[in-house]
């Protein structure tokens, strides 16, 4: 028992001695140590004088009159937007000058790199979102080069006629096509039904193509499934479909150069068209076949596009 009491007293004295030594060391450090201060600013420093001379001769740096203050970049007083790629004079005659050296990771990006927009699904919201975004991107990258719209879509319906999307999806893509400043070349590579047929006909006159065995079909807009909706809601939907039908007829008459009465009579029943009949009705202009090299030879070369856009070679 006595040994335990003696051991505890020894530990207590050791703890008090350790705390006393730490306290004395901290006090000594506070009294003896001084915080290092940076050297005072010297406006006659040779390095600062060289920097000031370079700033005065540089157009991107704002000249300063006070020698006591260092120069600063003038980026907020007169901001300027960067020039778009089409505004920069190209040193070569190729539109692929700024494309990445490595190919994009997916096939749609590879097609987009060739300025090809491919619609291969019914016009549902996710398809509309992607197509409109691609059109805006291609117009931003080069508003002078053409865009090639490949179509293989059943429009806002499926093959069996069931409605899968609203007519506004097709009208959204159509409006985006009409707003772009670039030339739109449309190609039917399978089928173009309903709203997709409108997109096919909306291409630039003379630049609307179809493959030999592709089909086009005009049909009236369809009422979505009403389910258990009350009669008043069904009537509202019917009026909306009637307005969409009138809009579709008016736009088709504009691009096919037919009268509204002729288009209205044509779509009373599903109006199927093969390649030759689509040309006769005015939906497309040419058929692409194995001798299409002759047709594609009429496409302007990159040099001609640059010359027509007023872009000079450096």
- To which CATH superfamily is domain 106-290 assigned? 2-enoyl-CoA Hydratase; Chain A, domain 1 (3.90.226.10)
Kind of pairing between the strands at 215-218 and 184-193: parallel
Q: How far apart, in whole angstroms, are the C-alpha atoms of residue 49 and residue 68?
A: 11
Whether the CB-CB separation of 267 and 249 falls below 8 Å is answered with yes
The residue that leads in pLDDT, 70 or 173, is 173
pLDDT at position 65 is 47
The residue that leads in pLDDT, 25 or 224, is 224
pLDDT at position 229 is 75
pLDDT surpassing 90 at residue 75: no
Q: Counting beta carbons within 10 angstroms of the beta carbon of residue 279, is it exposed (0 to 12), middle (13 to 18) or buried (19 or more)? A: middle
Q: For the residues 93-104, what does the mean pLDDT come to?
A: 56
Residue-wise pLDDT for 279-304, tens only, equals 999 999 988 876 555 555 666 666 77
The residue that leads in pLDDT, 56 or 231, is 231
pLDDT surpassing 60 at residue 29: no
Residue-wise pLDDT for 270-279, tens only, equals 999 999 999 9
At residue 303, the 3 state secondary structure works out as helix
Of 161, 212, 167, the C-alpha closest to 187 is 212
Which one of 28-32, 127-131, 292-296, 303-307 scores highest in mean pLDDT? 127-131
Angle, vertex CA 97, rays to CA 108 and CA 143, nearest 5? 70
Domain map (residue ranges) of the chain: 106-290
pLDDT surpassing 50 at residue 10: no
Q: For the residues 48-65, what does the mean pLDDT come to?
A: 59
The residue that leads in pLDDT, 208 or 57, is 208
pLDDT at position 159 is 73
Residue-wise pLDDT for 206-219, tens only, equals 899 999 889 999 98
Question: Quick count: other Cβ atoms within 10 Å of Cβ 201?
Answer: 26
Q: How far apart, in whole angstroms, are the C-alpha atoms of residue 95 and residue 99?
A: 9
Residue-wise pLDDT for 144-166, tens only, equals 889 999 999 999 888 777 788 88
The residue that leads in pLDDT, 94 or 52, is 52
pLDDT at position 167 is 87
For 116-181, the three-class secondary structure string (H helix, E strand, C coil) is: EEEECCCCCHHHHHHHHHHHHHHHHHCCCCCEEEEEEECCCECCCCCECCCHHHHHHHHHHHHHCC
Whether the CB-CB separation of 253 and 227 falls below 8 Å is answered with no
At residue 209, the 3 state secondary structure works out as strand
First CA to last CA across the chain, in angstroms?
101
């Amino acid at each position: 028992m006595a040994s335990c009491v003696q051991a505890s007293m020894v530990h207590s004295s050791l703890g008090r001695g350790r705390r006393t030594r730490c306290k004395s060391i901290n006090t000594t450090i506070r009294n003896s140590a001084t915080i290092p201060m940076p050297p005072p600013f010297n406006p006659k420093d040779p390095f600062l004088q060289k920097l000031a001379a370079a700033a005065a001769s540089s157009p991107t740096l704002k000249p300063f009159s006070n020698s006591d203050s260092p120069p600063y970049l003038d980026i907020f007083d007169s901001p300027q937007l960067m020039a778009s790629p089409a505004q920069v004079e190209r040193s070569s005659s190729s539109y692929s000058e700024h494309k990445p050296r490595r190919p994009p990771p997916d096939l749609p990006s590879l097609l987009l790199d060739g300025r090809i927009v491919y619609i291969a699904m019914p016009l549902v919201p996710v398809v509309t979102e992607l197509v409109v975004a691609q059109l805006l991107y291609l117009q931003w990258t080069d508003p002078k080069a053409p865009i090639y719209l490949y179509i293989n879509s059943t429009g806002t319906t499926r093959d069996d006629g069931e409605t899968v999307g609203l007519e506004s999806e097709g009208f959204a893509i159509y409006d985006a096509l009409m707003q772009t400043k670039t030339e739109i070349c449309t190609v039917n590579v399978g089928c173009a039904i309903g709203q997709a047929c409108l997109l096919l006909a909306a291409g630039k006159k003379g630049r609307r193509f179809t493959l030999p065995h592709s089909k086009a079909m005009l049909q009236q807009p369809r009422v979505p499934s009403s389910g258990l909706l009350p009669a008043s809601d069904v009537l509202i939907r019917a009026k909306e479909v009637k307005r969409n039908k009138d809009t579709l007829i008016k736009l088709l008459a504009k691009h096919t150069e037919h009268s509204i009465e002729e288009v209205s009579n044509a779509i009373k029943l599903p109006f199927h068209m093969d390649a030759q009949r689509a040309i006769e009705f005015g939906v497309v202009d040419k058929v692409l076949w194995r001798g299409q090299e002759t047709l594609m030879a009429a496409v302007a070369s990159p040099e001609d596009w640059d010359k027509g856009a007023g872009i000079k070679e450096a």
